[in-house]
Amino acid sequence: MKLKALIVSGILLMVIIFMLSQFISKKQQPTEVIEATVTNILLQKDEQLTESGKYKGEAHYEFSYSNKDNRKIHYVFSDKNKRGMTFIIYSKNKSNIVSEGHTSKENNFLLEDTFSPQQEGSYEITIVSDDGDGGADSPISILVELAPN
């Protein structure tokens, strides 16, 4: 008799737990997360390099960074013609170099790096080819983006 009462009590307890879990799961509504579309790209170019700026033999590009982004900057520079080029990122007033590199056979004419900006504002990229002509009419690819968290 005690065994039958124990079995019935156990089954009754499982039914109550099952019903309670069903009730609780119906009360919980899934939370819908809506993400705003945010672009992480600060500069993207895939073009023939042209000389621009006041110095012959140099090409220049600009991008801006805001402190509210609170992230590092990641860049990829591809020297598609495999000429060998120097790639320098300055703060806008050229007071300091924040990152630089050189494409060569050793790095497969591809630069990729990440740096932490020291200040918000405009940054300038200067590109100079090894032969000093600014890489005029050479195909390049530049991607400057906020680094993923």
Domains within the chain, CATH numbers bracketed? 42-146 (2.60.120.380)
Q: What is the mean pLDDT of the chain?
A: 79
Average pLDDT over residues 39-66: 79
Q: Which of 50-54, 105-109, 126-130 has the lowest mean pLDDT?
A: 50-54
Angle at 130 (CA atoms; ends 124, 134), nearest 5 degrees: 50
Average pLDDT over residues 94-99: 84
136 compared with 106, residue with greater pLDDT:
106
Average pLDDT over residues 2-31: 65
Q: What is the pLDDT of residue 20?
A: 62
- In 3D, which of 87, 69, 67 has the Cα closest to residue 77? 87
Measure Cα distances from 97 to 40, 86, 115, 139 in Å. 22, 13, 11, 24
Report the relative pairing of strands 121-129 and 85-91 from DSSP bridges.
antiparallel
Average pLDDT over residues 30-58: 67
Q: What is the pLDDT of residue 6?
A: 65
How do residues 115-131 score in pLDDT, each as one tens digit?
988 888 899 998 888 87
- In 3D, which of 117, 115, 135 has the Cα closest to residue 127? 135
Rounded to a whole number of angstroms, the CA Rg of the chain reads 29
- pTM beyond cutoff 0.85: no
| Rounded Cα–Cα distance for residues 46 and 61 (Å) | 12
Q: What is the pLDDT of residue 24?
A: 64
| Rounded Cα–Cα distance for residues 61 and 43 (Å) | 9
> pLDDT at residue 111 above 90?
yes
